[in-house]
Structure formats: structure tokens, C-alpha cells
Amino acid sequence: MESKPLPRPQVSRTAAKQATRALVIRTASRAMRRDGIAATGVAAVMAKAGLTHGGFYAHFASKDALAAAAIDAAFAESSRRIARRVEGLAPAAALAAWIELYVTTSHRDDRSRGCALTALGSEASRGGDAMPAALARGMAQLTDRLADWLAAIDDPAPAATAGAMLAEAVGAITLARVLGATAASDALLTATRASLRRRAGIPA
Amino acid sequence: MESKPLPRPQVSRTAAKQATRALVIRTASRAMRRDGIAATGVAAVMAKAGLTHGGFYAHFASKDALAAAAIDAAFAESSRRIARRVEGLAPAAALAAWIELYVTTSHRDDRSRGCALTALGSEASRGGDAMPAALARGMAQLTDRLADWLAAIDDPAPAATAGAMLAEAVGAITLARVLGATAASDALLTATRASLRRRAGIPA
DNA sequence: GCTTTCATATGATCACTATCATATGAAACG
DNA sequence: CGTTTCATATGATAGTGATCATATGAAAGC
């Protein structure tokens, strides 16, 4: 009954399973950032991934576990995007590039591919343990990156500056989304970009 | 059947109804800021207000309408709190007082009485029309207030600075909540206060 | 005092949700 | 080729949500 004959787990089967798992996570990551976690149903995610809801619990222990994985995936995606954008740039230029990538109307308008901190920070930090932990990991990764650049341009307190800059960027996208695609919203983003550039010691 | 004899609406009855309406809104405002809009059920709000769920639709057309009213109430509450705090202060001191009121661990830790922009900005800006409109109203009121103070201390672009400062404050609370009540979180708030003070031209 | 009005309560509906039990069908293995 | 394994599908279940229909009981008006 509880014996474990254990014929040893296969590998190629497992690989296929991991692939669909990754697909479900990617799908959920988009949907949750766009509609929120609560508003994103498990069945809807599975359907959008081309599956049915039945197999879900073979992949995840709970919806919260999926959400945590979705947050991790969102940060991984963002991280890749940043890396691609700053490749080969000097620290000051990298900071400027990050600002131009983050504080933009397209980030405001495309929630599904945006930063998990702005999209899910509020909702995810209320629930469970796994979700806030995933957010905190991604946030630390991002502030570390900013702090490295800031240290390289002789900022006196790179970690503190990085945190405050990220706060400003996150808040700007949040507020810009509140205002929608309006002139006031655009102006807020423009003002924030200027403010961040100034703080990063970038003239222009 | 469809005639309207119309004996004229009474007044004192109406006053009582408005009182319970206000109570329901206040209750919802707290609950929604703490748990989010989706996670706050209509029946739960009514129960917490000492009523049953039945009468709800005599007061509000929908849950969204309640949420919009709850957002308005949250801003009204915050506005009163700010007014009380800055009463009689000169512009620079008022700005400093606002920073000390907003970017604090107690704001981070008490979601239910905090700013609606941080608590509900993300979620409410996704849905309907009424909720984002309420948020935008409250936000405009707040940025106007900050801009007035900034103009009085000769900031060259009060509106832009006000927007960027609010963004930083909102983002800081959001990120601090992600980190929970930790040393890193406290440090982020401290760094953000310093950053905001510097921006508002306050030495200290 | 009787009747009408209306704020709130009781109770139901219907959609949808997360979660789980079981079935199926193809790949892996002997 | 037959058997086993397991990833996914089919099909419950049980709860919860918003919303609405109707009942009730007290105050308002005559």
C-alpha cells in the first residue's frame, strides 16, 4: 500500500511536463498582471494555455503557488529585457536606458508585459507567504542592479538611491495607470523621467 | 400599475438612510483598503456594518459603485488628516509634515486607514469607469495641494514636482509593503523621506 | 387609529470558483 | 507486443460571489 516500487522517473516525459508547466506559468503571468490575481481564474489560464483545468493540480499545489511562479517568471522576463537593453552600455548610460525603458507610456499601457511590482505589488503583498517572497526576490534583484550602476558613478549611497529611484518609477507607473492614457498621465511620466535622470546624475 | 401618485419624499427618513449609507461606505473603505476590492464581499461589508446583505442594492447600484464611493471616502479621510496635521504651518513646513505623515512605517503597516492610491491604485484602475475616476479626483486634489506648497517655496515647476513626489511616496509605500515590517523596508522608507525632503528643498 | 411608504431583512438564484476523484490514451519499458 | 506509467481530460463537489424578489415592521401622514 505504501511501498515504493519506484521504477525511477523518466526524463523525456518530465521534460514535456516542464514545458507545459512553463507555458501555464507564462500564460498566468500575463493574465495576472493584466487582470489581477483574484480576477484570473485557474480554469481560464489553463484554457488560454490550450489545456483543461483538470491537470492543474498535477503542476501546482494551489493557485497561490501558481501566482508566485508567475511573479518569478515576470521578473525573469523583465530582467532579460533589461539585460538586452543595457548590453555593453556604461553605468550612466545603462541607468538612463533603464529609465527610458521603465517610465514610459508603453509600460503604462501594456500591463500584461509590465513590471510585476506595479501590477501585483499591492495585491500580492496582502496574501500568503510565497507571493510576497517572490516579489521581494525580484525587487532585490532589481535594486541590486540599479545600485551597481549607481556605485559605478560614485553615488554616495547606492542602495538607498536605488530604492528611492525604484519607488519613484513604480509609483509613476501606478499613478499614470490611474490617469489612463491622458495628457496629464503623459506629463507625469515625462516629469518622472526627468526627475530620475537628475537623480542619477544624468544631465540632458 | 405604472402610475406615480407621488406623495413627495420625506426628509428625516432620508437622513437616516444617508447615515447608514455613510456607515456602509466607511466600512467598505476600510475593508477594501485592507483586503482589496475583489476580496471584500458585499455581504461581509454589510455584516460588519451591522446590517444584512439584503438592503445593499437600495443604497448602491453595484459593488463597483460602492467601491467608487469608498475611494472618495478614503480621500476625504486622508485629506482631513493632512489638513489637521499642517494647520497653520508655512509651506515648507507643511511639505515636511506631509512627508512625515505619508512615508512612515505606520502608513505601511495600517493598510485600512492608508492612502487609497497605494492600496487600490492598481486594482481599481483596471475596472469600470467610476473607480478610476474617483482615484483620479483624489489624486488631483492631493497633487494640487502639494503643488501649492511647492509654488510658495519657488519651485520652478510645481505641478511636475508634485507629481513626481507623489509618485515616489506611493511607490515607497508599495515597495515597503512588499518587504513587510523588515529592516530593509524601514531603510527604504527612511531613504525615501530623505530623498523627498531634499527635493522639496528642505535641509535637515 | 388606520393606511401607506420605505428602509432593511429573509431567502433564493445563478454564475463561477478552487479543488479533487477518476478516466483515458499515448508514450516508455520490458 | 503487452504492460505500466503518467500527463492530461472529464466530470463532480462544495463554497462563495453578486444580484434580485419578496417579506416585514416601524415610522409618516391622514
pLDDT tens track for A188-197 = 999 999 999 9
Residues of B in contact with A198 (CB under 8 A): none
pLDDT band at B2 (very low <50, low <70, confident <90, very high): very low
B contact test, residue of A104, A178, A186, A198 with most B CBs within 10 A: A178
Q: Write the DSSP symbol of residue B200.
A: T
A58 nearest nucleotide via C1' and CA: D7
The predicted pLDDT at position A138 comes to: 97
Give the model's pLDDT for residue A178.
97
Closest Cα in chain A, distance from residue B75 (Å): 14
For the CA of B103 and the C1' of C15, the distance in angstroms is: 42
Predicted confidence (pLDDT) per residue in A10-47, tens digit: 456 677 788 899 999 999 999 999 999 999 999 999 99
Tell me, what's the pLDDT at A81? 97
Residue B88 in this model has a pLDDT that exceeds 60: yes
- Amino acid in position B155: D
- DSSP collapsed to 3 states, chain A: CCCCCCCCCCCHHHHHHHHHHHHHHHHHHHHHHHHCCCCCCHHHHHHHCCCCHHHHHHHCCCHHHHHHHHHHHHHHHHHHHHHHHHCCCCHHHHHHHHHHHHCCHHHHHCHHHCCHHHHHHHHHCCCCCHHHHHHHHHHHHHHHHHHHHHHHCCCCCHHHHHHHHHHHHHHHHHHHHHHCCCHHHHHHHHHHHHHHHHHCCCCC
CB contact under 8 A, A191 and B160: yes
Q: Which residue ranges in chain A fall short of pLDDT 70? A: 1-13, 204
Cβ–Cβ gap A111/B126 under 8 Å:
yes
- Structure-block grid coordinates of residue A153: 558613478
pLDDT above 50 (res B196): yes
Compute the nearest-CA separation of A12 from chain B (Å): 38
- Report whether pLDDT(B13) > 90: no
Q: How far is B35 from chain A, CA to nearest CA, in Å?
A: 7
| Per-residue confidence (pLDDT) for residue B189, from 0 to 100 | 97
All 3 cell numbers of residue A46?
A: 489553463
Q: Which nucleotides of C are covered by protein (CB under 7 A)?
A: 4-12, 16-22, 27-30
- What's the pLDDT tens digit per position in B118-162? 999 999 999 889 999 999 999 999 999 999 999 999 999 999 999
Q: How far is A143 from chain B (nearest CA, A)?
A: 11
Q: In the prediction, which pLDDT does A18 show?
A: 85
pLDDT at residue B202, rounded to an integer: 83
Minimum-distance residue to C23 (CA–C1'): A54
Q: Determine the protein residue whose CA lies at the shortest distance from the C1' of D30.
A: B7
Q: What is the pLDDT of residue A28?
A: 96
Averaged pLDDT, B37-57: 94
Rounded CA-CA distance B65/B189 in Å is 34
* B8 vs B148: which has the higher pLDDT: B148
The pLDDT of residue A3 is 33
- What is the CA B20 to C1' C9 distance in angstroms? 15
The verdict on a CB contact (< 8 Å) between A167 and B187 is no
Task: Give pLDDT, residue B32.
Answer: 97
Q: Give chain A's length.
A: 204
Q: Is the CB of A54 under 7 A from strand C?
A: yes
- Is any atom of nucleic acid chain C found less than 7 Å from the CB of residue B4? no
Which residues of chain A does B136 touch, with a Cβ-Cβ cutoff of 8 Å? 178-180
Q: What is the pLDDT of residue B187?
A: 97
Q: How far apart are CA A176 and CA A181, in angstroms?
A: 8
How many alpha carbons lie under 13 Å from residue A186 in its C-beta half-sphere?
3
**Inter-chain residue contact B139 with A179, CB threshold 8 Å:** yes
Q: How far is the CA of B126 from the C1' of D19 (A)?
A: 22
User: CA–CA separation, A135 vs A141, rounded Å?
Assistant: 10
The predicted structure's pLDDT at residue A200: 85
pLDDT (0 to 100) of residue A36: 97
Q: Can you list the domains of chain B with their CATH numbers?
A: 62-199 (1.10.357.10)
Residues B44-67 have a mean pLDDT of 93
With CB atoms and an 8 Å threshold, state whether B36 touches A123.
yes
pLDDT at B40 > cutoff 60: yes
Residues contacting residue B170 through CB under 8 Å, at least 6 positions apart: A170, A171, A174, A175, B115, B117, B118, B121
